[in-house]
Structure 1
Amino acid sequence: MTVSRTQSTFAPPVMEARRWLEGVAFTDDLPLINVSQAAPVDPPPAQLRAEIARVATDVPEAHLYGPVLGLPELRAEVAAQWSAAYSGDVAPEEVAITSGCNQAFCATLSSIAAEGDEIILPTPWYFNHKMWLDMQGIRTVALSTGDDLLPDPDKAAALITARTRAIVLVTPNNPGGVEYPAALVRAFFELARAHGLKLIIDETYRDFDARTGAPHDLFTDLNWGDTLVQLYSFSKAYRLTGHRVGAMVADQGFLAEAQKFLDTVTICPNQLGQYAALWGMQNLSQWLAGERAEILDRRAAIADNMYKLADKGWRLLGAGAYFAYVEHPFAMRSDALAKALVRDHHVLCLPGTMFMPEDDPAAALGIRIAFANVNRAEIGVLFDRLASADYPRRA
């Protein structure tokens, strides 16, 4: 029987996890702690919502088709801010605005790979990346990482074949939370360049990087566009998840290929969302700095509370941006543990089995905690509940 494109991959993990809540009775004494999804649950700040309302009323063209590659003003703003932030040279023509970062990834892969080609993804991977590759008939080549969750360029080099088209990095990482050192990113860039591949770097969470200054120096390379495709999302920075606004930074010729995909799928990105992103970039830098400070404090709260779990045999493998990735001590697969935590401790998180190949032993051990929507006090309660989990342990 013929298998359709969608049948070739798994169900959306976040939606799957929500089904685990069915039949569980949460109480005031033990309410649900949901650390399964990283998307902000609060709306944009009031001043940004006011701007969206103003544009909706006063800018008639915001309700019409716009340019396929996005508003020229927003493309120019991204180019200017990226050039300054990365000490490089990014032109407006090298920026495309997309309907979210996921679409930027889909457009990128559609522009470089065909059925039967191969893409290298470090594990644990972002599940939507794997899903898209499955649905396109593109082979995902898993690049295993160690306890530090950092991919090894030498191991990646050994995986390159004649069908390899790109290497994908996500930094700060989803699901691992780790921030890839600039030297590591540069090493992957040189590896991709040497083999004529694209290096796709998803920097959705760049606004919440704990480091100051540029996270890498790739845009200082005069010929960065021959190798690099950078992806970004405005959703996390300005709480614009429902407006679906992302960006792709790449060589102008590459964007001409991506434009074919974008025109076919959505014709143009959301107009109101683009105006909102532009206004946010120009007016909300101090507000965003406050958001970053809050996320960094929650990251610190993870470290501050980890002693409660370390005594029970848990290990913290990575923490940063919106995520912590931990290894559990129990003699059960992570998917079974995640379901048990909902039932017994009213904690909803995602298991490592959703971020790795099924036959990878590490998949059974990992748990992702998305802490963007739980404050410091709630993180303390979360760790208390995890510490109270008492299941048979691994030998």
Structure 2
Amino acid sequence: MKTLSATQSTFAPPVMEARRWLQGVEFTADRPLINVSQAAPVDPPPEPMLRAMTDVVMSDPDAHLYGPVLGYDPLRAEVAQQWSAAYGGQIAPENVAITSGCNQAFAATIATLCTAGDDVILPVPYYFNHRMWLDMAGVGCNALDTGPTLLPDPEAAEALITPRTRAIVLVTPNNPGGVEYPAELVRAFFDLARSRGIALIIDETYRDFDSRTGAPHDLFTDPDWADTLIQLYSFSKAYRLTGHRVGAMVASAARLAEAEKFLDTVAICPNQIGQRAALWGMQNLGQWLAGERAEILDRRAAITEGFRALGDKGWELLGCGAYFAYVTHPYDMPSDRLAPKLVRDAGVLMLPGTMFMPSDNTAGQRQMRIAFANVDRAGVGALFARLL
């Protein structure tokens, strides 16, 4: 019997699959496609950042060469300084690695923790690229069902831990669910992971759009945080740098030394221009980013305020936050059939819950993810009108 290759062991990229549903479908100027399938800003970086990037291209010769595998030292230092202030803890530059996007940070993290046959606990619904990488690495996905609250239960997670379990993964604010994990819940998972000698991986890609003020958790205040915690981050959402692929991994210096082996063999170094842009953004775009956050929070409010009309038709809002609303639909068909039908019938592209679930979890057949990063308050109204 022929064995599967690493890539054959997982599914096709969901966003690419969804784009194929657009083939052969015509949209008119008075009824254009409403695309709520992908959580990535489509606008370019703000003009001042573009000018700064142009200056880098023209005047910084080092930006066109290989750089340090673990990233541009000034950016590592800036992340350490700002994160220490934001979380009230001690994070040193040697605790920070810059990666080619947050997906690479996750892949590098798993490479430092796991070998084939190990397993990792993922709350369900999960971010599909996390599942894809585990599949390709030969690492088991131990699915932790979060139920209708979309909040994982530490006791249920503990029951899933086996001698082969190497980590628990949390994403907060959550993709796809949108929910923000309470600080005490995050702390409970940290304590669980530490007590069982496994890692806690927290993906905070959407931390800049958390509705809460202050630190979303207190884990970095623990002087020994690095024995358990690995934090992941993306600059793509905050500064519209999706095409430049700049992410971060915050962990112990010893773990980053292991991650360096992986990163050196995959991309050698992160995008040099993107790293300098991220540094410039951190130092100069605080007020601008606050405005971006306010806009996203207004779109979130538009979702929650306007959802009553859909609720009257049998839809249910399970979670809403950052870039996402996660909903159940009222139709007598699975969501993976409903989603392409909505493209044809309503001119709406969104992802079905089946893309965020193991195949044996039928809950995804009633669920859909709405990614509203590029749909303003008026666009939310138009979306809901199409779905009624």
TM superposition score normalised by structure 1 = 0.97
Instruction: Determine whether 1:341 maps to 2:342.
Output: yes
Question: What SS class does the counterpart of residue 43 from structure 2 fall into?
Answer: coil
Provide the residue aligned with 1:213 in structure 2.
214
**Amino acid aligned to 1:305:** G
- Paired with 1:145 and 1:30, the residues of 2 have a C-alpha distance of 37
Amino acid at match of 2:341: A
Q: What does residue 63 of structure 2 align with? A: 62
* Superposition map of 1:265-344 within 5 A: 265-344=266-345
Equivalent residue, structure 2, for 1:142 = 143
Partner residue, 2:115: 114
Q: Which residue of structure 1 lines up, in the alignment, with residue 241 of structure 2?
A: 240
Aligned length: 387
- Using the TM superposition, give the Cα deviation of residue 353 of structure 1 relative to its aligned residue in structure 2, in angstroms: 0.3
TM-superposed CA distance for 1:25, in Å, is 1.4
| Superposition deviation, residue 2 in structure 1 | 2.5
1:377-392 maps to which residues of 2 (within 5 A)?
377-387=378-388
C-alpha distance in structure 1 between counterparts of 2:30 and 2:244, whole Å: 36
The aligned residue for residue 355 of structure 2 is 354
Aligned residue type for 1:58: S
Q: Using the alignment, how far apart are the partners of 1:116 and 1:331 within structure 2?
A: 38
Are positions 1:171 and 2:172 aligned together? yes
Q: CA offsets, 1:40-92, max 9 Å, x none? A: 10000000000011011111011001011011100000000000000000000
* Counterpart residue number, 2:52: 51
Structure 1 residue 26, shift from structure 2 partner: 1.0
Cα deviation digits, residues 77-109 of structure 1 (max 9, x gap):
000000000000000000000000000000000
For structure 2, the 5+ residue unaligned runs are none
Match of 1:155 in 2: 156
Amino acid at match of 2:217: H
For 1:245 and 1:27, the matched residues in 2 are separated by 36
The one-letter code of the counterpart of 1:250 is: A
> Cα distance, 1:199 vs. partner?
0.2
- Counterparts of 1:38-117 in structure 2, within 5 Å, are 38-117=39-118
Distance 1:51 1:27 in 2: 38
Q: Secondary structure at the match of 1:29?
A: coil
Report the alpha carbon displacement of residue 29 of structure 1 after superposing the two structures with TM.
Answer: 2.7
1:296-317 deviation digits (Å, cap 9, x = unpaired): 0000000111011000111000
Letter in 2 for 1:369: I
The equivalent residue for 1:393 is none
Q: Which amino acid aligns with 1:18?
A: R
C-alpha distance after superposition, 1:325-361 (max 9, x if no partner)? 0011111101111111111001000000000011112
Q: Secondary structure of 2:147's partner?
A: coil
Confirm whether residue 195 of structure 1 aligns to residue 160 of structure 2.
no
Identical aligned residues as a percent:
72
Instruction: State how far apart, in whole Å, the 1-side matches of 2:256 and 2:228 are.
Output: 13
Query: 1:39 is paired with a residue of what secondary structure?
Result: coil
Which of structure 1's runs of 4+ aligned residues deviate more than 2 A? none
How do 1:255-270 residues align onto structure 2 when only pairs under 5 Å count?
255-270=256-271
> Could you report, residue by residue, the CA deviation over 1:191-210 in whole angstroms, capped at 9, with x for unpaired residues?
00000000000000000000
2:33 alignment counterpart: 32
In 1, Cα distance between equivalents of 2:198 and 2:333: 39
Paired residues for 1:10-25 under 5 Å: 10-25=11-26
Unaligned 5+ residue runs, structure 1? Answer: 388-395
The alignment yields a C-alpha RMSD, in angstroms, of: 0.5
Match for residue 184 of structure 2? 183
Q: How far 1:28 moved relative to its partner?
A: 2.1
Give 1:152's aligned amino acid: D
Residue in structure 1 matched with residue 230 of structure 2 by the alignment = 229
TM-score relative to the length of structure 2: 0.99
How far is the alpha carbon of 1:146 from its aligned partner?
Answer: 1.5
What secondary structure does 2:292 align onto?
A: helix
